[in-house]
């Protein structure tokens, strides 16, 4: 999938209000991960497949840019910063404390003072396993059947059926 960088202003009244509402819903789910709170959380998403399970501690900014396939499992304390689209395919396992981040800021100090945000979509194909504590950075595509080792920082696309690990994540072997 091809990704592009999109500039957006996260400080508009509409987006601030949306984040507050979604953060409240995420906190409520973390305090009480009941079936009703899970259903309310899933209703935020652009799409949510069958048999999706989300453990407590889940966090996102907006929700409406997240698409989850069937049988996705999000372990405890997953963070999805969804200023851009986040697509997770069927049968994916997302480990505890994983961060999937579509948001970035300017590198140049003077540009950062403008408080602009940039987003790049993330696409995770089906049957992917992302190990605990991994960080997926903006604009990354992860191919079908891939594995990301625990604690890895993914800065570039990952091919299908490969094991990547490290900081930055590098090809360890074909699967």
Q: Which residues carry out catalysis?
A: 105
SS3 content of the chain, % helix, strand, coil (to 5): 20, 30, 50
Q: Rounded to an integer, what is the distance from CA 141 to the centroid of its chain?
A: 12
Task: Report d(CA 65, CA 81) in Å as an integer.
Answer: 10
Residues contacting 6, CB < 8 A, separation 6+: 84, 118, 119, 120
SS3 (DSSP) at 36: helix
Residue 27 to residue 85: CA distance in whole angstroms = 22
């Amino acid at each position: 999938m091809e990704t592009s960088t999109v500039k957006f202003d996260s400080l508009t009244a509409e987006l601030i209000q949306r984040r507050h509402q979604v953060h409240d819903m995420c906190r409520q789910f973390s305090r009480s991960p009941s079936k009703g709170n899970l259903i309310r959380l899933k209703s935020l998403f652009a799409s949510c497949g069958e048999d999706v399970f989300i453990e407590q501690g889940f966090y996102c900014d907006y929700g409406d840019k997240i698409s989850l396939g069937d049988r996705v499992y999000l372990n405890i304390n997953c963070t999805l910063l969804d200023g851009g689209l986040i697509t997770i395919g069927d049968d994916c396992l997302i480990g505890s404390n994983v961060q999937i981040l579509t948001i970035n800021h300017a590198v140049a100090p003077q540009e950062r003072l403008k408080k602009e945000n940039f987003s790049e979509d993330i696409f995770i194909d089906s049957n992917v396993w992302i190990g605990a504590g991994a960080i997926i950075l903006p604009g990354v595509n992860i191919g079908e059947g891939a594995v990301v080792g625990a604690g890895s920082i993914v800065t570039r696309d990952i091919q299908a059926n490969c094991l990547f690990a490290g900081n930055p994540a590098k090809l360890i072997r074909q699967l």
